[in-house]
Amino acid sequence: MALSALAVWQLVVTLGDLPAFILPGPGRVFATLWISRELIAEHALVTTVEILLGLTLGSALGFASGIVLVASPAVRSVMRPMLVFSQAVPVFALAPILTLWLGYGLWPKVATALLIIYFPVTSAFFDALMRTPRPWVELAHVMGARPSRILWRVQVPAALPGFASGLRLAAVYAPIGAIIGEWVGASQGLGYLMLMANGRAKIDLMFAALLVLAVLTLLLHATIDAICRWLWQS
């Protein structure tokens, strides 16, 4: 599939006779990727750290929020509308505010990644908790289990596949959040490198950074998927 995409890419460049500053061919992009490998690797490392931190913190917060939403109806009645409202405000609009508050360093990008994955993780886990088979809960009640014990021994284990689905979505969304944060204000990272390359008309470098970002996202998703499958099977 990847080879087919590269072939179509080269075909479009050749048949359209497109100049390199509009759409460079895959050969030119791979050559730039090799020549600038140290520069790209340096910025890719920064973006990877931002993504992993945002993914870890957002997933942990989503897990905790799902538990709280199920355990407390009072909190749920207040928190669920707030979660929905948080999705009505685009992350693009929040990123400049986070940069203003947190500066141009690492944490605004981590916060942007966290915000963009928090809702899908929380929503997937909460829905899975609420869909726990009713006979399981009723059996635990008959056996005299306390609500907290039912939550942790019955509902949470039953909802782990739903949480895993949220993590798979988060693995795709977290890079988006980090790149948005870098576009708004940064001095490092693949998003910053793409903006810098675009401003200097180095479109081949911009495509090389974009290609690395795509590979990072695919690797992250595959890793999360493999870990979730392994945990679920074990």
All structural domains of the chain with their residue ranges: 24-233
- Is a pLDDT exceeding 80 seen at residue 165? yes
Percent above pLDDT 70 for the chain = 99
State residue 47's pLDDT score.
96
State residue 21's pLDDT score.
78
- Is a pLDDT exceeding 80 seen at residue 175? yes
- Is a pLDDT exceeding 80 seen at residue 20? no
* pLDDT band of 234, cuts 50, 70, 90: low
State residue 231's pLDDT score.
80
When pLDDT is averaged across residues 77-91 and rounded to a whole number, the result is: 81
State residue 110's pLDDT score.
94
State residue 12's pLDDT score.
81
Looking at residue 154, its amino acid is V
State residue 3's pLDDT score.
77
> What is the spatial distance between Cα 179 and Cα 214, in angstroms, rounded to a whole number?
12
> What is the spatial distance between Cα 129 and Cα 91, in angstroms, rounded to a whole number?
27
- Is a pLDDT exceeding 60 seen at residue 45? yes
Indicate the Cα dihedral angle 22, 25, 27, 32, nearest 10°: 10
Percent above pLDDT 90 for the chain = 57
State residue 16's pLDDT score.
73
> What is the spatial distance between Cα 36 and Cα 42, in angstroms, rounded to a whole number?
10
State residue 222's pLDDT score.
95
When pLDDT is averaged across residues 177-186 and rounded to a whole number, the result is: 90
* pLDDT band of 154, cuts 50, 70, 90: very high
pTM: 0.91
Q: Which of 221, 211, 217 is nearest to 2 (CA)?
A: 211
State residue 94's pLDDT score.
85
More confident residue, 127 or 73: 127
State residue 142's pLDDT score.
84
Which tokens is 151 given?
């939550």
> What is the spatial distance between Cα 55 and Cα 167, in angstroms, rounded to a whole number?
8
The single-letter DSSP state of residue 155 is I
Class of domain 24-233: mainly alpha
The single-letter DSSP state of residue 56 is H
When pLDDT is averaged across residues 164-187 and rounded to a whole number, the result is: 92
- Is a pLDDT exceeding 70 seen at residue 181? yes
User: What integer best gives the mean pLDDT of the chain?
Assistant: 89
The number of angstroms, rounded, from the C-alpha of 186 to the middle of its chain's C-alpha atoms is 19
